[in-house]
Amino acid sequence: MLKEDLFKKYIAILKNIILILIGNTIYALAVTMFILPNGLITGGTTGLALLIYHKTGIPIALFVSVFNIAMFLLGAAILGRAFTLTTLISTFYYPFILGIFQKILFLQDMTSDRLLAAIYAGVMIGFSIGIVIKAGASTGGMDIPPLVLHKKFGISVSASMYGFDFAILLSQMLFANKEQVLYGILLVLIYTLVLDKVLLLGQSRTQVKIISEKYQEINEMIISRLDRGSTLIHAETGYHHNKSLVVLTVVSNRELPKLNQLVLSLDPKAFMIINHINEVKGRGFTIDKLYR
């Protein structure tokens, strides 16, 4: 049993490392294929690197490398060992793969349409950051200061991240025209929306409350037929003040039609309240089921 647990642990670590590498690769592709060739501006480390490049001529890949190392040391000092080790991969891999992609000329000739470039770059960046965060790491650089501020002062990570991004966007007005800034804002909005969707991908579930006189049969059906847990909640009707029990359960979105069919087969008059919830933690979802 110990060997099996150890094997699962190593598989999980390997899976996370692969996700971190894939995420950083997609991020570097978005920058190489759409942002740099079309003169788009963005937030984060890449946006800061663009500002420094236009003001000092320091290559983007070089600045990203140095800045990421500095942020990595900051994160190592404040955020702890586990987070630091996973972020270490992003810190060194992203500037490395970005430098390689910048040498491949055909990647820089995808489209000259800035709107199209902003949309595709936003989708790719949001997706890439999302899978890296789901792997328990970050893309390094400007992702780390918001996490530090959250730990030290309780400031919302998303709020401080938006603040940094828009500050970097506005600073690029020193070399960019108004249209570039507008495209930059669109880019940030798109990758923020995609990021939120990716972080919730596969996490959403459906909460169902069932009010029925046949609550016992429904409760047994949920446990035996759907292999899901349930909770019985004491309730009282508002008009007749009849006391009863409400069956509460959480199922996957795919299981909802089957649950609905089974409940109505037991009680066609059953009253069901269905809510979509973003995330569920606990046995049967984030913890393996326990059978006795």
How far separated are the first and last CA of the chain, in Å rounded?
18
Q: Which residues contact 96 (CB under 8 A, 6 or more apart)?
A: none
What is the chain's pLDDT, residue by residue, as a tens digit (292 residues)? 567 777 777 888 888 889 999 999 999 999 999 988 888 877 788 788 888 888 888 888 788 888 888 888 888 788 777 677 777 888 788 888 988 998 888 888 888 899 999 999 999 998 998 888 888 777 777 878 887 887 888 776 667 777 888 888 888 777 777 788 888 888 888 988 888 788 777 667 889 999 998 999 999 999 998 888 899 999 988 888 888 899 999 988 888 889 999 999 999 999 999 998 876 766 666 566 655 5
The candidate with the shortest Cα–Cα distance to 129, out of 180, 87, 79, 83, is 87
pTM above 0.75, yes or no: no
Q: Topology of domain 205-277, per CATH? A: Alpha-Beta Plaits (3.30.70)
The first and second tokens of residue 147, run together, are: 């996490």
Buried-exposed string 48-79: b where 16+ CB fall within 10 A, e elsewhere: bbbbbbeeeeeebbebbbebbeebbeebbeeb
Q: Rounded to an integer, what distance in angstroms lies between the CA atom of residue 224 and that of residue 93?
A: 49
Contact 68, 44 (CB under 8 A): no
281 Cβ contact partners less than 8 Å away, ≥ 6 residues apart? 287
The answer to whether residues 172 and 47 touch, using CB atoms and an 8 Å cutoff, is yes
Domain edges within the chain = 2-200, 205-277
